Amino acid sequence: MDIQQQINSLRDELRQHNHNYYSLDNPTISDYDFDIKLKQLQALENQNPEFFDENSPTLRVGGAITKNFETIVHEHRMYSLDNSYSKEDLLDWEIRIKKIIEGPIQFTCELKYDGASISLTYENGSLIKAVTRGDGTQGDNVTANIKTIKSVPLKLRGDFPSKFDIRGEIVLPFEGFNKMNEERIEIGEEPYRNPRNTASGSLKLQDSAEVAKRPLECLLYNITGKNLGIDSQFESLESARKMGFKVPDLAKLVDSIDAIFEFVAYWDVHRHDLPYETDGVVIKVNDLQQQEELGYTAKAPRWAIAYKFKAEQQSTHLESIRYQVGRTGAITPVANLEPVELAGTTVKRASLHNADQIEKLDIRVGDTVFVEKGGEIIPKIVGVDLNQRPSDSQPTVYITQCPVCETELVRQEGEAQHYCPNYAGCKPQIIGRIQHYISRKAMDIEGLGGETVALLVNAGLINNYSDLYELSKDRVLPLERMAEKSAENLISGIEASKQIPFERVLFALGIRYVGETVAKKLVKHYKSIDAIVSATIIDLVAVDEIGIRIAESVVEFFGLISNKEVIERLRSFGIQLEISAEKLANQTDKLKNKTFVVSGVFEILSRNELKKLIEDNGGKVSSSISSKTSYVVAGDKMGPSKRTKAEQLKIPIISEFDLIKYIK
């Protein structure tokens, strides 16, 4: 097999695996094996840039930046849908279409996915462009972003029309949405409101690598074009599925309004079992010829209608508003409600988000409010029943002081949230920080839970995380529900945390915006807490991928004397505050400011080991040769085009031995 065949066969194989995994939910290979193959392909493509293919599976990780999204006119307009809310509405619709169509009519019933609509254009089996709905006539070209969504096939399978548009919805399944929010909360950012807005916001991100990280999916429902060789909607769903698109297997072909209603009734209940949000059912006349006869109104097809599920809404009484203080000091207002049944659960609380939200809806204690359960876990208040407002009702005055420590709250320009600035003395912040410190991804202290932390703080035994290391069995035993054995576990868990590596310690400190990834980057660059403490904002932003917001937050954190003291105490207890000697022994600055391209097959090190060696010694690895490349590290079978390019640009070509010798 020559190189090109090898590349093509890897691409085909990876496409098949992507399809199995993302469209069929049925992987046939481990993630690890998939990664290995992807890396093989990447290596071959790097060495042989002449076989570049913009639809290669290696390009799924994104990287393209779009500054301004180009406006594109849809070749086939993207219509809206008429809505219906009752069986009567559906019967009326049937009467309207029976005036135009003679003979029996079949209907395809589908779910109405709640996300952002998208139109994909394919030519000769390749994805050409992806455009948002916009105003229906023209939308934004978001192709680079859409290509990172793994369930969007870049190349089609089997038989397909030579040119067509296919429409669908970009959704963010609950699981991925909740995970994204957990990560945001972890770094002290406000969680996203709901999956739909987050999905549609994702399409307009400028950095496609950011989009690639989001677990978006594309569900397809309509093929549009000329000479498609398809006779019905139901058939078109099947053929889209065969071409490799993700088309949920939930549509049903029926021939009466009663059967439509059965479908609606079933999904009104069972939609809660689906992994993504739906807001109704779409009913379409199945036969494409009949569709053509029916045509369109000014804004929607006559041959289709949406049936909207009633948003699960209830009215109840707002008893009081409680203000919660998070570990970063952020204040969240929470509504205490008279308990009410909603979507199968009893609801007692709803998030009010922030002061603006309360003001916008003019929510007052004593009001009868409407609560809804959308994609988010916590229900929200969507409105107030003004007819039921008591005559003596008073507008809500947002608190100006911390509900716990009574410090005057602050609200920064451009932020929605109020904050309690009493960093050192506010109990919920103190408890929250220690809870973060001991959490699984941070110091992972076994034998110590969040509630025990609160007990310890309230009992005056600890006030910050460094105090943990002064606890002893005798001191914790008097605590409520603390048995001999659990006290021992607690102390040994705390002791064991002294082995946790520095990068996790840095994350555990709970510096705002310093999540796991940022902590790793900082540790890699600075290697010790002392170096980080003495870094200025200017130093910090010079580090790869550290922005101004993070830099300011780091400097502010270490600017506090109290934090410096805590760090000194952690040091005295033997917490890891620098990269371990073993790790450090293999790290130098010798390749600082140098960029390397690695190409070919090597004798003593694998490509990955070689890359790691370069990075550990302060160098940067890039995948393609440019004038910025300092050296090309070449092994056996280096790609000929790479060699030519390096020679043209007069970039020195060295061997793995040269590199190792230089570092040693």
Which residues of the shown chain bind Zn ion in the complex (CB under 5 A)? 402, 404-405, 407, 420, 422, 426
Minimum CB separation of residue 291 from ligand AMP in Å reads: 13
> What's the chain's length in residues?
664
Residue 383 or 425 having the CB closest to Zn ion? 425
State the Cα–Cα distance between residues 181 and 648, nearest whole angstrom.
49
In the list ligand AMP, Zn ion, none, the entry touching 402 (Cβ below 5 to 8 angstroms by class) is Zn ion
State the Cα–Cα distance between residues 402 and 410, nearest whole angstrom.
10
Residue 420 or 443 having the CB closest to Zn ion? 420
The CA angle 180-181-186, to the nearest 5 degrees, is: 100
Residue 277 or 503 having the CB closest to ligand AMP? 277
In the list Zn ion, ligand AMP, none, the entry touching 282 (Cβ below 5 to 8 angstroms by class) is ligand AMP
Q: Give the residue nearest to ligand AMP (CB).
A: 117
Residue 115 or 515 having the CB closest to ligand AMP? 115
Q: Within 398-547, where are the H helices?
A: 427-438, 450-458, 473-476, 484-496, 502-508, 516-526, 529-533, 537-541
Q: Does 117 bind ligand AMP (CB under 6 A)?
A: yes
Buried b (16+ CB within 10 A) or exposed e, 476-507: beebeebeeebbeebbebbeebeebebbbbbb
Given the residues 67, 98, 99, 112, select the one marked as catalytic: 112
Q: Which amino acid is at 321?
A: I
Residue 141 or 407 having the CB closest to Zn ion? 407
Contact, 149 vs 120, CB < 8 A? no
Contact, 618 vs 589, CB < 8 A? yes
State the Cα–Cα distance between residues 429 and 435, nearest whole angstrom.
10
State the Cα–Cα distance between residues 508 and 494, nearest whole angstrom.
14
In the list ligand AMP, Zn ion, none, the entry touching 3 (Cβ below 5 to 8 angstroms by class) is none
* Sheet-wide strand order for 116-123: 126-132, 116-123, 163-171, 217-224
Residue 93 or 221 having the CB closest to ligand AMP? 221
In the list Zn ion, ligand AMP, none, the entry touching 233 (Cβ below 5 to 8 angstroms by class) is none
- Binds ligand AMP (CB under 6 A): choice among 133, 196, 642, 645: 133
Q: Does 140 bind ligand AMP (CB under 6 A)?
A: no
Q: Does 469 bind ligand AMP (CB under 6 A)?
A: no
Q: Does 234 bind ligand AMP (CB under 6 A)?
A: no
Residue 7 or 247 having the CB closest to ligand AMP? 247
Residue 54 or 415 having the CB closest to Zn ion? 415
* Sheet-wide strand order for 278-285: 83-84, 304-308, 278-285, 107-113, 252-254
112 catalytic? Reply is: yes
User: By CB neighbour count within 10 A (0-12 exposed, 13-18 middle, 19+ buried), where does 356 fall?
Assistant: exposed
User: By CB neighbour count within 10 A (0-12 exposed, 13-18 middle, 19+ buried), where does 260 fall?
Assistant: buried
Residue 74 or 607 having the CB closest to ligand AMP? 74
Q: What share of the chain is helix, strand, coil (3-state, %, to 5)?
A: 40, 20, 40
In the list Zn ion, ligand AMP, none, the entry touching 117 (Cβ below 5 to 8 angstroms by class) is ligand AMP
- Binds ligand AMP (CB under 6 A): choice among 45, 110, 165, 277: 110
- Binds ligand AMP (CB under 6 A): choice among 10, 43, 44, 81: 81
Listed as own residue / partner, the contacts of 31-39 with beta carbons closer than 8 Å and 24 or more positions apart are 37/10, 37/13, 38/14, 39/608
State the Cα–Cα distance between residues 325 and 312, nearest whole angstrom.
29
Choices 50-58, 112-120, 157-165, 227-235 (CB under 6 A): range interacting with ligand AMP: 112-120
Contact, 152 vs 235, CB < 8 A? no
In the list Zn ion, ligand AMP, none, the entry touching 405 (Cβ below 5 to 8 angstroms by class) is Zn ion
Minimum CB separation of residue 623 from ligand AMP in Å reads: 37
In the list Zn ion, ligand AMP, none, the entry touching 110 (Cβ below 5 to 8 angstroms by class) is ligand AMP
Minimum CB separation of residue 18 from ligand AMP in Å reads: 23
State the Cα–Cα distance between residues 251 and 586, nearest whole angstrom.
58
In the list Zn ion, ligand AMP, none, the entry touching 277 (Cβ below 5 to 8 angstroms by class) is none
Site for ligand AMP in 302-321 (CB under 6 A): 306
Task: Please give the helix or strand (H or E) that residue 370 lies within, else none.
Answer: strand 368-372
In the list Zn ion, ligand AMP, none, the entry touching 306 (Cβ below 5 to 8 angstroms by class) is ligand AMP
Q: Does 169 bind ligand AMP (CB under 6 A)?
A: yes
Q: Report phi then psi at 604, rounded to 5.
A: -105, -30
Q: Does 10 bind ligand AMP (CB under 6 A)?
A: no
Site for ligand AMP in 254-293 (CB under 6 A): 282
User: Mutual orientation of helices 257-270 and 87-98 as an angle, nearest 10°?
Assistant: 140
In the list Zn ion, ligand AMP, none, the entry touching 169 (Cβ below 5 to 8 angstroms by class) is ligand AMP
- If you ran DSSP here, which 8-state letter would residue 594 be given? -
In the list Zn ion, ligand AMP, none, the entry touching 420 (Cβ below 5 to 8 angstroms by class) is Zn ion
Q: Does 602 bind ligand AMP (CB under 6 A)?
A: no
Choices 30-38, 108-116, 314-322, 510-518 (CB under 6 A): range interacting with ligand AMP: 108-116
Minimum CB separation of residue 146 from ligand AMP in Å reads: 14
Minimum CB separation of residue 321 from Zn ion in Å reads: 17
Minimum CB separation of residue 375 from ligand AMP in Å reads: 15
595-599/163-171 β-pairing? unpaired
The footprint of ligand AMP on this chain (CB under 6 A) covers a number of residues equal to: 11
Q: Does 221 bind ligand AMP (CB under 6 A)?
A: yes
State the Cα–Cα distance between residues 569 and 153, nearest whole angstrom.
55
Q: Does 80 bind ligand AMP (CB under 6 A)?
A: yes
State the Cα–Cα distance between residues 301 and 541, nearest whole angstrom.
53
State the Cα–Cα distance between residues 39 and 352, nearest whole angstrom.
47
Contact, 438 vs 494, CB < 8 A? no
Choices 109-117, 353-361, 466-474, 643-651 (CB under 6 A): range interacting with ligand AMP: 109-117
Choices 107-115, 387-395, 474-482, 607-615 (CB under 6 A): range interacting with ligand AMP: 107-115
Minimum CB separation of residue 332 from Zn ion in Å reads: 13
Which residues of the shown chain bind ligand AMP in the complex (CB under 6 A)?
80-81, 110, 112-113, 117, 133, 169, 221, 282, 306
Q: Which residues are catalytic?
A: 112
